[in-house]
Amino acid sequence: MNQEADLTRAIQRLNERAWAFASGLLLAGGLFVATNVLVLRGGPNQGQHLELLSVYFPGYRVTFLGSLIGFVYAFVIGYALGRLVGFVYNRLAGVTG
């Protein structure tokens, strides 16, 4: 009976670090791709809405270098949010430890 409970707990448990890493990469990759698509597209008003992220991400611009800076910021935010989701899920599911 104890082995079955351990197996159930292991299956239900969400790996917080893996979830955080995946969330960070998803957010960072999305911002990186979106920025570089706008850079490659060009034009007079390229990325005027995406440029507003510079308010929250100092150093971010709609340029290739800006996409790298934004990648780092978005990864950190995605990592933190993913870690939080994993933590809350494990606590609500009762599979701590």
Contacts of 20 (CB under 8 A, 6+ apart): 78, 79, 80, 81, 82, 83, 86
pLDDT for res 24: 98
What are the pLDDT tens digits along the chain (97 aa)?
Answer: 577 766 666 677 788 899 999 999 999 999 999 999 999 988 788 888 889 999 999 999 999 999 999 999 999 999 999 999 999 988 888 776 6
Q: CB under 8 Å to 24, separation ≥6 — which residues?
A: 74, 75, 76, 77, 78, 79, 82
Task: Give the per-residue pLDDT at 96.
Answer: 67
Q: What is the pLDDT of residue 45?
A: 83
Spatial distance between the Cα atoms of 75 and 26, rounded to a whole number of angstroms: 8
What pLDDT is attached to residue 92? 87
Distance between CA atoms of residues 49 and 60, nearest Å? 13
State how far the Cα of 97 lies from the Cα of 91, in Å rounded to an integer: 10
A 10 A CB-CB count for 82 gives 23
Where in the chain are the domains? 15-93
